[in-house]
Amino acid sequence: MLDQTDQANWQRLLRRIKDRRRTVDSYLRSARPRAARLTYVAVVSSAVAAALTAGPGFGGEKFVAAASNLVGGDPSDVWQPICLVTAIVSIIAAISANLSRAKKTEARIIHAEACNAELEGLQTLVEFQQIPLEDAVKLYGQYIARIPFVPETTPSKKRVPSQRNRAGS
C-alpha cells in the first residue's frame, strides 16, 4: 500500500503528463495547418509562375498577341506585367518553401506527435502504476527533452480581474 506522499507523487506526475500532453496537442493544432498553408502557397505559387512563363515560352509571339488583344494593349506592353507577376509569385513560392524548411516544421510536427504517443503510453503506465515512479519520472524527462520547441505551460488558473482592469483603466 502506498503512503500519502507516494500517492501524491504519483498524482503530481500524472497531472504533469496530462498537462504536457495538452500543450503538445495545442502545438500540433496550430503547427499542422500552418505547415499545410506554407506547402500549399509554395506549390500553387510555383505552378502559377511556371504557367506564366510557359505561355510566352511555348506560344511566343502568338501568345503575346493574344494576351495584348485580351487586355487591349500593345504587344510590347504585355511582357513587362507577365515578367513582374512571374517574379512576384516566384518570390512567394521561394519564401514559403524556405520558411517551412528553416523552421523544420515537418520534423518538429513528427517529433511532437511521437512524444505525444510516448506520453500517452507513459500516462497509462502511471495510471495503473505499472512502472516504478523513479523510472516514470526519468522517461517523462527523456520524452519532453525531444520537444524543446513546444513551450511548457502550467495549467491555466482562473484569474480574477484586478480592480484596475474592471474599471477600464
Distance (Å, rounded) from C-alpha 94 to C-alpha 45? 9
Alpha carbon distance 119, 146 (integer Å): 12
Q: How far is CA 154 from the centre of its chain?
A: 21
HEC letters along 31-85: HHHHHHHHHHHHHHHHHHHHHHHHHHHHHHHHHHHHHHHHHCCCHHHHHHHHHHH
pLDDT in tens, 41-95: 999 999 999 999 998 888 888 888 888 888 888 877 888 888 899 999 999 999 9
* Boundaries of every domain in the chain: 12-149
Reading the block at residue 33, the C-alpha cell is 495547418
Q: Which of 5-9, 77-81, 145-149 has the lowest mean pLDDT?
A: 77-81
User: Coil, strand, or helix at residue 135?
Assistant: helix
Name residues whose C-beta falls within 8 Å of residue 18's C-beta, 6 or more positions apart in sequence: 123
